[in-house]
Structure 1
Amino acid sequence: MQEEFVLSLGQKMLEVTAMLAGPLLIPALVIGLIVGMFQAATQINEMTLSFIPKLAVVGIALVVAGPWMLNTLISFTKELYQNIPALIG
């Protein structure tokens, strides 16, 4: 029983990690692709041209999705603390 609990806990941790990383990584990926196409079309190879827009988009995504991400992390932490007796015993 304990092995099943540990495996399900690990699976839940990976799911929460993917859910929290997705809202930040997907917009950065899209903006990076758009800026990369712009740089290829104009032959401008400036490193800050790709970094600054990605940083701004990740900041905006963090402001927009931040409360949801925090609530998800808090609920997972509460669930984890409630299941500690099952893990020990």
Structure 2
Amino acid sequence: MEPEVFVNIFRQALWLVMILVSAVIIPSLLIGLVVAVFQAATSINEQTLSFLPRLIMTLFALAFGAHWGFGKLMEFFIAMISQIPQVVG
């Protein structure tokens, strides 16, 4: 058991988490930016106006990206299962 194996597994796991979270957060941030510019241009200071589009976009990103995300998680899980002999032996 070499420490590099565990560092590599941890690096892969963090990269996967970053990719999966970014797939949901980035569309929400872009919609939030568009709504914020619209609010600044029209001087509307309604909190629900900025919250609702971000919530809807987050739900859409989760709904449309769920298949892809679960596929990535399954690939990672299969890779971890295949690395068990390398880690144990």
Q: Normalising by structure 2, what TM-score?
A: 0.89
**Separation (CA, whole Å) in 2 of partners of 1:85 and 1:10:** 17
Runs of 4+ residues deviating >6 angstroms: none
- State the match for 1:63 in structure 2: 63
Identity of aligned residues (%): 37
Structure 2: state its 5+ residue gaps: none
**CA offsets per residue over residues 14-58 of structure 1, 9 Å max, x none?**
111121112111101100100111111111111111111011111
Match of 2:23 in 1: 23
Q: Structure 1 residue 86: deviation in Å?
A: 2.5
Supply the AA of the counterpart residue of 1:41: A
Letter in 1 for 2:62: L
Deviation readout 1:38-88 (Å, 9 max, x if unpaired): 111111111111111011111111111110001101111122123233323
Q: TM-score if structure 1 supplies the norm length?
A: 0.89
Q: Which moved more, 1:41-50 or 1:76-85?
A: 76-85
Cross-structure match for 2:85: 85
Q: Distance in 1 between matches of 2:72 and 2:16?
A: 8
Q: Between Structure 1 and Structure 2, how many residues are aligned? A: 89
Distance in 2 between residues matched to 1:88 and 1:49, nearest whole Å: 54
- 1:50 is aligned to 50
Cα distance in 2, alignment partners of residues 88 and 47 from structure 1: 53
